[in-house]
Amino acid sequence: MSKISDNLTARRDALGYTNEDVVAELAKRGIDRAYSTVTSWFNGIRGSRWNMEELKALLDVLQTDLDTITQGEVEVIEDKVPALTAREMTNLSDEQQQLVLAMVRSMKGKS
């Protein structure tokens, strides 16, 4: 598997989705793809054939973005407070996110 397909699979699994779930969620977003096509995305066979609409919809279903899915290993946030914080951060501008991140980093080690 390629790193991207590994990360996509890790994210899908972290959300508790099956390939059937992903097919259904894509259909809700107007992307109708066969089960075999979606399966091939997760096993690394067809990733290079995505069109932008498909890729954007898949990332939306998996609640992630291209930057995250292409960097190293996907970090799964399972604790309630960090997961809620991460979700809330997505509603902030890039500048606001950077300010919050800087504040958190400055607080490390301080109790």
CB 41 within 8 A of CB 8: yes
Cβ count near 15 (within 10 Å): 15
Entry field: residues in the chain: 111
- Which pLDDT score, from 0 to 100, does residue 83 have? 63
pTM (global) more than 0.75 = no
Mean pLDDT of 83-88: 71
Structure token digits, residue 25: 């969620």
Domains and CATH numbers, the chain: 3-69 (1.10.260), 77-111 (no CATH)
Decide if pLDDT at 50 tops 70.
yes
- Which pLDDT score, from 0 to 100, does residue 27 have? 96
CB 41 within 8 A of CB 47: yes
